[in-house]
Amino acid sequence: MSVRSDIIEIAKNARIACAFLSQATTAKKNHVLKNIADGLEKNKKLILTANKKDISTAKKDGKSKAFVDRLTLNEKGIEKMSDDLKSIIALPDPLGEMIKMWHRPNGLVIEKMRVPLGVIGIIYESRPNVTSDCAGLCLKSGNAVILRGGKESINSNIAIYDIIVKALKKSGFPRGCVNLVKTTDKDAVLKMLHLGDYIDLIIPRGGESLIRNVVENSKIPVIKHYKGICHTYVDEFADFMMAEEIAVNAKVQSPSTCNAMECLLVHKTIAKEFIPLIVKKLKKLGVQIRGCEETAKLCKGVKLATKDDYATEYLDLILSVKVVASIDQAISHIEEFGTKHSEAIVTNNVDNGMFFLKRVDAACVYLNASTRFTDGNQFGLGAEIGVSTDKLHARGPMGLEELTTYKYIVIGNGQIRT
């Protein structure tokens, strides 16, 4: 069977499965999620063996440490995948929710009911946990899903998918509810992007080049984010200890993620005291600093930052640092170089905090907290299908509700329009 025929067959099966999912009760959906979660726990060794093959190949291909980190699974990571599915089970089922209801003067009752989107195509790169997270969220929200992971994680994805298939069969769900494109042929992605008759939405997760390729070629609506250039602005009224802890967490805790801080902005009145402290701390943790001229004057061995540095999503232990004259200048810098993902201010000044929260245009804006919280699980969404920097149809971490749309229910008693 050709790549095109194979993809079309998968898409048709997914479309057929939508009818089943739209009628599945919450209890049935939770049951299949529980079976998947249990299957992941029971088959850790199988998943880790497959993952080791992917890691070995990635290292032979010269992939970066950050890339290998995103690819790597361990027992704790698999337990988290299982726990995330259990978190989804605990969440309310969004389907059938009446979002709004009103009465018209002619007696019509109009309601907005939450319904599934339909068939969702997920195109992603190296993170194997995406396979189970997306399957779980789509099943609970009543959507069939077509998963197409990168070739770098193909063995891990197949191992996880096989567990999902067994759970579907055990729970009486059609296999078409969750589908995996197993070919690593790049043509498979292009074929998916042209199947608007079967697929309702595409969500790419990965590097900027992947996402731009999807957007440029898709005939189907796409929800995306290109980059996560996240900033933390340390205001002149900041508590130094709090600012240090937030900055270190935002940069170091998981530098290869899209919600990690890539640029630290510091108000000029505290720069002389705060910047040497934070730079020393970050350097001890292995962070390479690229700073403005003022930063370089305050700290020896700091490489001068260029405009390109401020526009770079490092996804690594590299950080740009810039001294700013005011909160307005900090916001202007964010407007120029930010990607509308996650931005933070550290301050004890309520007016400055509220000003920043209102003025900064991003999916997530923080006051006195790390940007690392931009995550579906951390937001209480169970898991996430991705983080959207679009403004339509969803923004920020996407959970169950973001995987639904609505339809109007109109109830009358014989009304006709005159």
Is residue 77 classed exposed, middle or buried when 0-12, 13-18 and 19+ CB atoms within 10 A define those classes?
Answer: middle
Q: What is the pLDDT of residues 65-112, one digit of tens each?
A: 878 988 999 999 999 999 999 999 999 999 999 999 999 999 999 999
Q: What is the pLDDT of residues 282-318, one digit of tens each?
A: 999 999 999 999 999 999 989 999 999 999 999 999 9
- State the Cα–Cα distance between residues 53 and 280, nearest whole angstrom: 38
Predicted local distance difference test score (pLDDT) of residue 343? 98
Percentage of residues in the chain having pLDDT higher than 90: 91
226 — pLDDT class (breaks 50, 70, 90): confident
Closest CA to 144 of 33, 37, 12, 40: 12
Q: Is the pLDDT reported for residue 1 higher than 70?
A: no
The full set of domains in the chain, from first to last, is 3-224 (3.40.605.10), 230-373 (3.40.309.10)
Q: What angle is formed at CA 205 by the lines to CA 204 and CA 210, rounded to 5 degrees?
A: 70
Which residue type occupies 338? G
275 — pLDDT class (breaks 50, 70, 90): very high
- State the Cα–Cα distance between residues 63 and 123, nearest whole angstrom: 20
Q: Is the pLDDT reported for residue 4 higher than 80?
A: no
Predicted local distance difference test score (pLDDT) of residue 58? 94
Count the Cβ atoms, other than its own, within 10 Å of residue 224. Answer: 20
- State the Cα–Cα distance between residues 291 and 281, nearest whole angstrom: 15
Mean pLDDT of the chain: 96
154 — pLDDT class (breaks 50, 70, 90): very high
Q: Where are the alpha helices (DSSP H) in 302-378?
A: 307-310, 327-337, 350-359
Q: What is the pLDDT of residues 230-274, one digit of tens each?
A: 999 999 999 999 999 999 999 999 998 999 999 999 999 999 999
β-strand pairing of 98-103 with 109-116: antiparallel
Q: What is the pLDDT of residues 320-363, one digit of tens each?
A: 999 999 999 999 999 999 999 999 999 999 999 999 999 999 99
Count the Cβ atoms, other than its own, within 10 Å of residue 367. Answer: 14
Q: Give the residues across from 230 on adjacent strands.
A: 261
